[in-house]
Structure 1
Amino acid sequence: MSLLLPSLMQAWICTGYGGADVLQLQYRPLPVVGAGDILVQVCASTVSSGDVRIRSSRFPSGMGLIGRLIFGLRRPRQQVLGVDVAGVVKQVGTKVTDFRPGDHVVAMTGFRQGAHAEYCVVSASHCTVLKPATLSFTEAVALPFGGLTAMHFLKKAALKAGEHLLVIGASGAVGVALVQLARLQGIRVTTLTSQRNQALMRELGADEALAYDSAESLPTQSEFDVIIDAVAARSFRECLPLLKAKGRYVAVAGGLPDLMARQKDGKICISGPSDERSEDLTHLLQLAVQGQIHAVTERIYPSDRLPDAHRHSDTGRKRGAVVVIWPAATEASCL
């Protein structure tokens, strides 16, 4: 079943690797809907650190060649970036039974990307859920990338109530989710950000908010059970003295050295890709509905200014998610 659809859509095309200027707004045919897919009219998407990493070809340490082999040697193989999407179902594949046209959904597109366009295709079985009615499209789309990454690595680190967590680079999409989710688990949280983000960290529940650009400094003794570096600012070796016995260092944007790091003095390094599961996304959105976590969105851009959203993300100083609003967001079906 489907609704009347246009033959063409506007999409931001990543024409090569480089700065935000490589992005061009073009008309493209609507993506093909497979048997297990749904076609979503995009109301809101985000420009995540992952989008910036692919567009700029700034892959984690030691992963440059691997990144090019995966995403494209001379330019991105998938030219429409974007992994977070919130919008309205317009068409469903022949094998889809859980969704129908008109449903409001939130999804992560995974490696197929494609959310930086008026329409995108997502798998009905891969991290796609109904949007809670009490969350706006902009609130809902700000949660998946950072929230699911944070949930994954908190589980991998096996944090327990009462343990002490340090979050390095805690003001981005992953960081703000880590702080909130860890506090819900009864974990003591210390954050390391710039001074301008200290107040935000306290608002989100951090027990202690340190600033790397002030006279404050990190403890010099072993104090933390877990250190999660959300922005690749430090290394396992640098953080070893700060970890307690059997401590865990988590490299969210880890490179090859992190993947190959060996256990040292009972302390381990955790890295690798994060899971994207529908049940986790449902749980994350319900926490937001209940007011236990909050979407943090510093800036919202109209879709015709998507390159500016990339430029802001390029600064490395964004707070929470950078959201992009598409023309469909003003239509009655998206309100």
Structure 2
Amino acid sequence: MQERLDPNLPYYALYKLDYDTFHQIFELCSPWRKAEVADQLSLRMFKIMDPTRNEFINFKDVVILLSMMCGEDLQKKLKLLYCLHLPGVVHPSELEQEEREGAEVASDATDYFTEDDLEIGKTVQFIREQSQEANLGQEEDVISSIQDWLVRQCSKLEMKKIPPLPQKYFVLLWKTLYALFMEPDLSAPSTEEQQKLYHSVSVVGTLLLQIGEVGERLDRKSAERKLLLESEPHITEGTPELAEDASGEAATVKESGAASSPATSSEAVDENKNSAGAVWNISFEQFLASILTESVLVDHFSKGVDIQAPLTEFSCHGWRKAADPLQLAGHPVANSVFYV
């Protein structure tokens, strides 16, 4: 009640939407509304803008999300997609759900959620190192930090503060990229443009997989070198035992001529499990740089969407919840909540 009567609140904070209303606006305006993963993306956007879980977001939050989705700024659009796949934003049930069915889900549930908690813990640790916040909590603070990065101007310094993406979350992001330009009822590209996009996403995904694998190997070598130094005090960094072939690891990242499908690439990732002391991940900088190598993807994500007409229609007529009894009775239903 105190919030409603606070005269110091900005006007945008007085207008609030619940998820149903936001999802209706998403379905009207978003360029991703026809994708098979549209509902998941819509829910994650709402979750990022509602870190306190009060089930409402304000007018400013909606404007920010619409500008990132529907605008022509490639970097903002890709940053939104990347943040929508970070640990803490993706629900555990969305990961590997195709491989986990029936009794297998029940038997592995404890291990599955524990693994997700570990990934969130890594994200928390990364945030602490970047922000030096020792009292950082778990999921709520993670979501709040992700929201802060999402709305902030993305300089090179700020890019480095965005947490890296673990391998299973990257695979989910890769599948999302395919889904954005594929019709839900199609199993293969049907137009020339879709075929070009499909190939470009395959090339980018393969490149990022190789970057992640090289990073993991280098991380493993670094961990082994550290253990060797700790166990053998007489060995120093300059000794031959720690000599590293610089032409070996870094040279393995080459752009593959054959495009990989998300299914086969997912299998490749599963076979390359992280060993102790080695971490497979990619950064937002690597993700952005890889997308920029494909002009087809650059053109696709740089296209803006006109939202004036659908928003005008929504403002005049609005949408109603399909199962709302007031709608069945012919009564108008409010689409937002605002305090005056």
Which structure would you say has the larger Rg? 2
> TM-score higher than 0.5 here?
no
TM-score by length of structure 1 reads: 0.29
**Larger relative contact order (CA 8 Å, sep ≥ 6):** 2
TM-score by length of structure 2 reads: 0.29
